[in-house]
Amino acid sequence: MFFLYKGIQSIYRQKSEDRKEGQATHLDRYDVLFLAKNMQKSFNCILLTLMCCLIAVKAHTSDSAFERIKHSLPQREAGWKIIKADDPYDQRDGSKQAHFLWANGVEEVGATVILYKSLKTAKDQFKRSHKDESSMDVFLVDGIGDEAYLFPPIILNQDGPFNLWFRKARYEILMSANSKNTVKRCAKYIIDSISQTNIQTDAAEPRR
């Protein structure tokens, strides 16, 4: 609006001077073109401002989601403390990633969280990682996010770590803990914190 105001002000100043000199003061086509250009500048500035505001709001929303994830365990169970919490950082593909580590004096839980730009990208990335591995099906688990795999310790009868890899909406998360029950329970705390965000989610689909 500043450009439009200055444009009109400039034209009327010139017309005022013309009036004093006894010249015609009607708007001609050059005045109209001048106004049109200034209106376009004003519109572009408003559009740019709105775009910047939308980007800022989106960034704040994603960062606040990471913040909720960081506090998800301590808020749900007494004794858990945040040992490590990365600030979310941008990846080349436009996703955001952060790593968290919690401890309660007895055990630790770690999580790497990735937030993709769209639900489709999140689904594609998750499936691409194991699309040619039919043996992965034996590790499928229900009741955790939209898709989930739970991997036991590499060495049989070893006490952890259990690795839980799952997706909830646009979030892909890899968690680890020495106890299967702990990693599954804490995963649900993280999922609850994600669900508080206004995000696009999967339609309910039956899984094996």
Predicted local distance difference test score (pLDDT) of residue 197 = 67
The closest alpha carbon to 118, from 207, 203, 202, belongs to 202
Helix (H) / strand (E) element for 103: namely strand 96-103
The Cα 50–Cα 44 span in angstroms is 10
Q: Which residues of 52-85 are buried (b: 16+ CB within 10 A; e: fewer)?
A: eeeeeeeeeebeebbebbbbbbeeeeeebeeeeb
Predicted local distance difference test score (pLDDT) of residue 4 = 42
Cβ–Cβ < 8 Å for 165, 151: yes
Predicted local distance difference test score (pLDDT) of residue 97 = 96
Average pLDDT rounded to a whole number, residues 183-202: 85
Q: What is the pLDDT of residues 66-79, one digit of tens each?
A: 999 999 999 999 99
Q: What is the pLDDT of residues 90-142, one digit of tens each?
A: 999 999 999 999 999 999 999 999 999 999 999 999 988 776 677 788 899 99
The Cα 173–Cα 148 span in angstroms is 9
